[in-house]
Structure 1
Amino acid sequence: MLAISFFTLLLLSVPVAFVLAITALLFIYTSDNTVLLSSYPLQFFGGLENYGLLALPLFILLGECMHEGGIARRLMAAAAACIGSVRGGLAYINLLANMMLASILGSTVAQVTIMARIAVPQMQQAGYRKDTAITITALGGLLAPIMPPSMLFIIYGVIAQISIGDLFLAGIVPGLLLSLAFLAIIGVLAKKHQYPYTEHQNSKQRCKALFQSLPAVMIPIIIIGCILGGIATPTEAAAIACIVSILVGKYIYKELHFAFIGPALIRAAQNAAVVLLLIAASHVFGWVITFENLPAQFADWIQQVTSSPPVFLFLVVLALLIMGMVMDPIPIIILVVPVLLPVAMDHYGINPFHFGVVLCLSLVLGLLTPPIGSALFVASSLSGIKAERIARLALPYLFAALAVIALLVLLPALSLVFIPSP
């Protein structure tokens, strides 16, 4: 009954948050457990009673401040200074700037939107095809959900009830591996398709670009440094980073005006409200799933299929890749974590931080695969290039990402390098 109700509502294009809440209500009525109705409002609002959720609107606000303050443009210039004059240099620069931006924004849509305005025109002027430029920009946006801070990590950490700061640390090595895989693919394609060389910069120009980018680079250092050093929680680090980005944009780069703050706060609140409603509804749905004893039933079934932790993870990755083609990552995390995480931990001994990294990285691929991929359609709408064309050009990079996922499944230590021992 739960499954039929859920998928029927989805096919009717009902928003996912309402699908979760309505399905929970239908279960209560059809199971004759109407006594649970008195707990329904408490469970709904109880899903939001988590301090870690405060980080979400703060990181969204940080992205707004970074864009308006000219910080993203300075990061692009810093990446250009680091690369130098090489074939396909602007493609490398695009990806490196995305990597630096990913360690600040944590949102794929925000990142693709910002970089499409900055990088794509530059690449076109240098002789790149527009479809190539927007594809690389969209792929760079896939780093946002993996490089800390990450909205997916925040939501997973809240649902899994584990340290969000440690989860950020778990994403560092996988994020770097994904970046290196993408850089390697660019290197191969640059030689094959004869991408243009970047313009040569002398030492003075490079030093100037790097010097101007120092305030921008300080923001991810502040975020990670505060968390690593135990100075601040992820929420507090996000608040500090917001203040620093406003000061940098206003007084150093002189591009941010205080009149921007009001609209930015409204946009951040609106975007955060969508995610928070999803989380509240998912808490109710998870409560119903637990009442139905679904995790235990799933554990019994999966143990009959395999007793190997890597095989279990590969099955999970396969399921997530299929789900990611038709749903956004946040609803999937909300749906599957209450069911899969207890099984992974209790029956297969999988570390929750390792499981979270594999889960989020698998879902990232869905952002650039039809028919739903949000990054795919944001890139398409911003560039005018058909989504199918962008998806086709992205295939080599997606295969490289699958190789990184396989490596993480087989070598769990890669995602646990920076996590303190208990």
Structure 2
Amino acid sequence: MLTGAAFMVVMLVGVPIGLCLCIAAIVYVMASGNPLLFQSYPLQMFGGVDSYGLIAIPLFILIGEIMNGGGITKRIVDLAMAFVGSLKGGLAYVNILANMFVSSILGSATAQVAIMAQIMVPEMEKKGYDKTFAAGLTAYGGMLGPIIPPSVMFVVYSVMAQVSVSDMLIAGIVPGVILTVLFCLVIALMGYIYNYPRADYQTPRQRIATILSTAPTMLIPIVIVGSILGGLANATEAAAVGAIAAIIVGKYWTREFQFAQLPQMMLRAGIYSAIVLFLVAAAAVFSWVLIFGKVPQDTAAWIQTVAKDPVSFMLLTNVILLIIGTVIDGVPGLIMTVPILLPIATEIYGIDPRQFGVVVVVNLVLGLLSPPVGLCFFVAAAVTGAKPGKMFVVTLPFFGVSCILLILLSLYPALSLILIK
């Protein structure tokens, strides 16, 4: 009880979530009256990041940096335009389709929203779209980032759950594609109702020329996802090869990447990676405290009185995680919930940890698009000047289909596991 109170107090006064977890663990050790536990404290933190799979995190982040510096993002938008730009509401489709392509490289919702909002929102405004809708749609497109591989959240979850990083990344492919299709269906319906404009018409020859000139940018996701699916590389190795592919495309195809940029890119990737890895280390020591305090066991006893079968447990978990995701960012949300809920899911209800991981990540990412915080909306607002509250209202249909996906993922494990060998 004292540990939980300490955690809430330091979090409410604005202490970063990683330090909150560490301080709460220290309070528990002091309250336990067993100072010998302090000897295990640093070992638990080190053990949390002593995982080969975590090397994929800085590599995936570096790929995103190289992609931005190499002018690859703009060409991915052009590629999407060649496929769907001439449809009614074409730029809205382009927004989602380009986000899906970029998701297979970046893997971060907030970074993706910040990049895509700068590109897509002004273009949609020029064609007559409401700025609030354009910014909100871009924020929902960013939701695909942590679902379609590569994904920092899936890497963190796989380490915490002790499952294969490659399996978790593969598990996100089908849900990510389904979510993209659902978003496109919503755009088709809204385009019919609100008479969305078409983008500039491209002749077949122009489309073919655009596809041929931009297709090499897709070498990066093909290398990453293809090598994992084909069993040629694990997630870490695929990330390393993907970084090399990004350099080759940026240097020799788009000709916008310069090797002089690489030190700064590596520095930025290192800083962001350090933040994520510190959270993972803090999660390890906090999980250790939870186990000592028998929190998972007590939570399991309560949940069993409410949820009588795996389906009801998954539906209850959706509600809990969605509420947590509205106030806490993705990785910290994983850190706080997985140590408690995962043992219950796997040991009591027999749920596959990979299916559970997909449901957890989708929930927490959807929380980034839900009041009262809605971090992705605030990122889009900072870039475009639109109002976050209005964004949520005008994009409610996208929230609805996201919830439908969560229910489907909870009821049908095959949607997450079908591609895993």
Q: Give the TM-score, by structure 1 length.
A: 0.98
1:204-215 alignment runs, 5 A limit: 204-215=205-216
User: Corresponding residue for 2:259?
Assistant: 258
* 1:230-280 deviation per Cα after TM superposition (whole angstroms, max 9, x unaligned): 211111111111111111111111111112111111110111111111111
2:46 maps to 1:45? yes
User: Corresponding residue for 1:316?
Assistant: 317
User: Corresponding residue for 1:246?
Assistant: 247
* 1:130-159 deviation per Cα after TM superposition (whole angstroms, max 9, x unaligned): 112111111100000111111111110010
User: Corresponding residue for 1:273?
Assistant: 274
2:159 maps to 1:190? no
* 1:178-232 deviation per Cα after TM superposition (whole angstroms, max 9, x unaligned): 1111111111111111111111101121011111122111111111111112211
Which amino acid in the other structure matches residue 13 of structure 2?
L
Which amino acid in the other structure matches residue 165 of structure 2?
I
Greater mean alpha carbon deviation, residues 100-109 or residues 114-123:
114-123
* 1:29-79 deviation per Cα after TM superposition (whole angstroms, max 9, x unaligned): 011121100111111122110111111111111111111111111111111
2:138 maps to 1:137? yes
SS at match of 2:368: helix
Which amino acid in the other structure matches residue 25 of structure 1?
I
User: Corresponding residue for 1:3?
Assistant: 4
User: Corresponding residue for 1:221?
Assistant: 222
User: Corresponding residue for 1:65?
Assistant: 66
Which amino acid in the other structure matches residue 193 of structure 1?
Y
Identity %: 46
- Whole-Å Cα distance in 2 between the matches of residues 208 and 375 of structure 1? 34
Contact 2:86 2:201 in 1 (8 A): yes
- Whole-Å Cα distance in 1 between the matches of residues 3 and 178 of structure 2? 39
Question: Over aligned residues, Cα RMSD in angstroms?
Answer: 1.0
User: Corresponding residue for 2:23?
Assistant: 22
User: Corresponding residue for 1:12?
Assistant: 13
2:163 maps to 1:162? yes
1:168-183 alignment runs, 5 A limit: 168-183=169-184
User: Corresponding residue for 2:403?
Assistant: 402
Contact 1:307 1:348 in 2 (8 A): no
Contact 2:105 2:220 in 1 (8 A): yes
* 1:260-316 deviation per Cα after TM superposition (whole angstroms, max 9, x unaligned): 111111110111111111111111000111111211222222112222101001111
Which amino acid in the other structure matches residue 416 of structure 2?
S
* 1:106-138 deviation per Cα after TM superposition (whole angstroms, max 9, x unaligned): 011111111112111211121212112111111
2:390 maps to 1:389? yes
Deviation for aligned residue 1:84: 4.4
Contact 2:223 2:245 in 1 (8 A): no
Deviation for aligned residue 1:373: 2.4
Deviation for aligned residue 1:335: 1.3
- Whole-Å Cα distance in 2 between the matches of residues 308 and 226 of structure 1? 37
User: Corresponding residue for 1:376?
Assistant: 377
User: Corresponding residue for 2:55?
Assistant: 54
- Whole-Å Cα distance in 2 between the matches of residues 217 and 334 of structure 1? 33
SS at match of 1:81: helix
* 1:376-397 deviation per Cα after TM superposition (whole angstroms, max 9, x unaligned): 1110100111111112122110
Gaps of 5+ in 2: none
Q: Give the TM-score, by structure 2 length.
A: 0.98
SS at match of 1:34: coil
* 1:386-411 deviation per Cα after TM superposition (whole angstroms, max 9, x unaligned): 11111212211011100111111111
Contact 2:133 2:395 in 1 (8 A): no
- Whole-Å Cα distance in 1 between the matches of residues 13 and 70 of structure 2? 41
Contact 1:222 1:241 in 2 (8 A): yes
User: Corresponding residue for 1:100?
Assistant: 101
User: Corresponding residue for 1:299?
Assistant: 300
- Whole-Å Cα distance in 1 between the matches of residues 113 and 413 of structure 2? 30
Which amino acid in the other structure matches residue 213 of structure 2?
Q
Deviation for aligned residue 1:371: 2.5
User: Corresponding residue for 1:78?
Assistant: 79
- Whole-Å Cα distance in 2 between the matches of residues 366 and 300 of structure 1? 26
Greater mean alpha carbon deviation, residues 85-94 or residues 115-124:
115-124
- Whole-Å Cα distance in 2 between the matches of residues 192 and 217 of structure 1? 34
Contact 1:146 1:174 in 2 (8 A): yes
